[in-house]
Amino acid sequence: MSRTRIVITGIGGLCSLGTDAAAIWKSMVAGVVGVGEIVNRPLHDVKTRIGSEIKELPRHDIDPKRLVTMDRYSLLAAIAAAEAVRGARLEISPDNSTRIGAVIGTGVCGWEAIEEGYRVTLEEKKPRIGVFTVPRVMPGAPAGQVSMTLGVRGPVYGVTSACSSSNHAFASAMDQLRLGRADVMLAGGTEAPLVFGVIKGWEALRVLSKDFCRPFSLDRSGLLLGEGAGVVVLETLEHALARGAPILAELAGTGMSADATDIVAPTVEGPTAAIRACLADAGLSPSDVDYVNAHGTGTKANDIIETQALKAVFGDRLPGISVSSTKSMHSHCLGASGALEMIACVMAVREGIIPPTMGFNEPDPNCDLDVTPNAARHRPVRAAISNGFAFGGTNAVVAVKPFHG
């Protein structure tokens, strides 16, 4: 039985590498590392004062009255979604808005409002906090704000599965389109974790690097946190062709699994199952894949586990596959990472360029992959997969390929 084909007609994003998708991709290809001192938020007593921060937001036309109801992660999502819609040349009107939906992933929620509440009550001794604290904090807020700023009235909701949130959002949006509940879905992820409480929590896990994120390098010492958002416009092929939309790539398939073992320690079996499920859903064989955008966090254990999972799936084919972790440039944006990595995959299949893994100093014999060290590489990409393996053992993988009518 033939399945509904899903295409990508617009992309939008912002992070430390740039405030639109084109700028992000240009920085990735150039190997720009967007790590620096965190300056936009007071961090008080933290050891880690570096990360990948958006120093200045781009201009936008969001109503100031709506801005007071938004936490930063919702604002980032709304900006990215608006860019994706513009790029897709999608006109949203009362006539079609009920057939357009949005699903936005996030891993942490609105910590900006949470910390404002603590400061107001505990430091300033005020009796009440901001009236919009709850709607700012809730994990579904970014999806709702995207809906309201763009007038989207179809299936709208949030998903949260830690670092796999964006990929789960893509999978869920694809399901809505395949089920016929919508013709268009805005899908992606957003995160703004560069605040005191979140950083202190990650420090307690002892996985933060003191300088840079160096995935797969023998001297890697952990991850860094970043903020950002990414959104793509997904459409059924039939709908995109009917309106003459610009088709950037095809979302070929998705795969999901759960480790069901430990809240933080990953397994090989879970990621392996998710990759295999993705390839099966996409109708791809291991020999069709030319690029893997790795989860690649830069922690000792996770990079080794991911390497073992890739070996289990691709076997003898693996040495011929280009792998890279763009987290080496934009850091770990948690629930937004997969959305930023989707930009990398879409542009890799379009332009035949593999973005690099930066900061790679010395091969790790336990991570014997072609990690595209320190410089982008030109090669045709027939298909790319992007891995998301999260705390809680929730795994989600997506497959992108060039569009051929």
- Rg of the chain's alpha carbons, rounded to an integer? 20
Question: Mean pLDDT, the chain, as a whole number?
Answer: 97
Confidence of residue 405 (pLDDT cuts 50, 70, 90): confident
Residue 213 annotated in active site: no
Q: What are phi and psi of 95, to 5 degrees?
A: -75, -30
Report domain extents, the chain: 6-242, 253-401
295 is catalytic: yes
Query: Could you report the per-residue pLDDT of 189-200, keeping only the tens digit for each?
Result: 999 999 999 999
Q: 15, 163, 333, 367: which one is catalytic?
A: 163
Q: What is the pLDDT of residue 233?
A: 99
Residue 266 has a pLDDT of: 95
What angle do the packed helices 21-30 and 72-87 form, to 10 degrees?
A: 90
Active-site residue among 168, 239, 330, 332?
A: 332
From the list 15, 168, 213, 295, the catalytic residue is 295
β-pairing, 394-401 with 384-390? antiparallel
Q: Which of 225, 212, 229 is nearest to 341 (CA)?
A: 229
User: What 8-state DSSP symbol labels residue 52?
Assistant: B
Separation of alpha carbons 330 and 378, rounded Å:
21
Of residues 103, 129, 125, 104, the one with CA closest to residue 117: 129
332 is annotated as an active-site residue: yes
The alpha carbon of 209 is separated from its chain's Cα centroid by a whole number of angstroms, namely: 20
- The residue-averaged pLDDT of 351-377 equals 98
Both structure tokens of 165: 């949130």
Give residue-wise pLDDT tens across range 157-189: 999 999 999 999 999 999 999 999 999 999 999
Percent over 90 (pLDDT), the chain? 97
Architecture in CATH for domain 253-401: 3-Layer(aba) Sandwich (3.40)
Separation of alpha carbons 104 and 52, rounded Å = 21
Is the pTM value of this prediction over 0.75? yes
Give 250-306 pLDDT, tens digit per residue. 999 999 999 999 999 999 999 999 999 999 999 999 999 999 999 999 999 999 999
Mean pLDDT on 333-358 = 98
Q: How many residues does the chain have?
A: 405
At the fourth CATH level, the homologous superfamily of domain 6-242 is Thiolase/Chalcone synthase (3.40.47.10)
| pLDDT in the model for residue 2 | 66
Model pLDDT, residue 310: 98
**Per-residue pLDDT tens over the stretch 144-161:** 999 999 999 999 999 999
Per DSSP, helices labelled H in 32-110 are 64-67, 72-87
Coil, helix or strand at residue 144:
helix
